[in-house]
């Protein structure tokens, strides 16, 4: 499923998209952990307490921009951090990697007051 559809997806979303209920949610978590260990999937942390996963081909290095309001995700195919990785290698570091996620308010959500979610009214 991850190789067919571009994520990132939560473990719950992956489980729901599995065809024919081929496995339970615990199996999805175990498989994701194993696939992450061999770098077949990449784990994304958007700071909301839920990890998301996407297939890692190793060819299309990219980052994400996440809307703070609707939590939509877009792919950014540009990576400025690769130069920093190169500098770290020059300093003698090995097995250098990085993660970078950018947060903002998308164009669609900017129509809301200040681009922020509307407060819920409290009655009583």
Q: Give the start-to-end residue ranges of the domains of the chain.
A: 1-59, 61-111
What is the distance between the alpha carbons of residues 16 and 72, in angstroms, rounded to a whole number?
A: 19
On average, the pLDDT of the chain sits at: 82
Q: Do domains 1-59 and 61-111 have the same CATH topology?
A: no
Residue 104: the pLDDT is 92
CA atoms within 13 A on the CB side of 16: 5
Distance of CA 50 to the CA centre of its chain: 9
Residue 10: the pLDDT is 92
pLDDT: is 19 or 115 the higher one? 19
CATH architecture of 1-59: Orthogonal Bundle (1.10)
Mean pLDDT of the 52-77 span: 82
pLDDT: is 36 or 47 the higher one? 36
pLDDT: is 79 or 35 the higher one? 35
Residue 78: the pLDDT is 76
What is the distance between the alpha carbons of residues 111 and 38, in angstroms, rounded to a whole number?
A: 43
Task: Give me the CATH topology for the region 61-111.
Answer: Dna Ligase; domain 1 (3.30.1490)
pLDDT at 21 over 70: no
pLDDT at 118 over 60: no
Question: Element (H or E) spanning 35, and its range?
Answer: helix 25-37
pLDDT: is 100 or 88 the higher one? 88
Question: Which SS3 state, helix, strand or coil, does residue 21 take?
Answer: helix
What is the distance between the alpha carbons of residues 45 and 72, in angstroms, rounded to a whole number?
A: 14
**pTM, two decimal places:** 0.64
Show the tokens assigned to 3.
Answer: 């190789």
CA atoms within 13 A on the CB side of 62: 16
């Amino acid at each position: 499923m991850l190789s067919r559809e571009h994520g990132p997806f939560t473990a719950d979303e992956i489980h729901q998209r599995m065809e024919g209920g081929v496995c339970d949610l615990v199996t999805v978590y175990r498989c994701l952990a194993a696939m992450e260990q061999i770098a077949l999937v990449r784990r994304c942390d958007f700071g909301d307490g839920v990890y998301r996963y996407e297939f890692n081909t190793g060819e299309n290095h990219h980052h994400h921009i996440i809307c703070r309001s609707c939590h939509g995700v877009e792919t950014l195919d540009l990576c400025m951090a690769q130069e920093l990785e190169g500098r770290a290698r020059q300093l003698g570091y090995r097995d250098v990697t990085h993660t970078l996620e950018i947060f903002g308010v998308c164009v669609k959500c900017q129509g809301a007051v200040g681009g922020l979610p509307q407060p819920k009214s409290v009655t009583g």
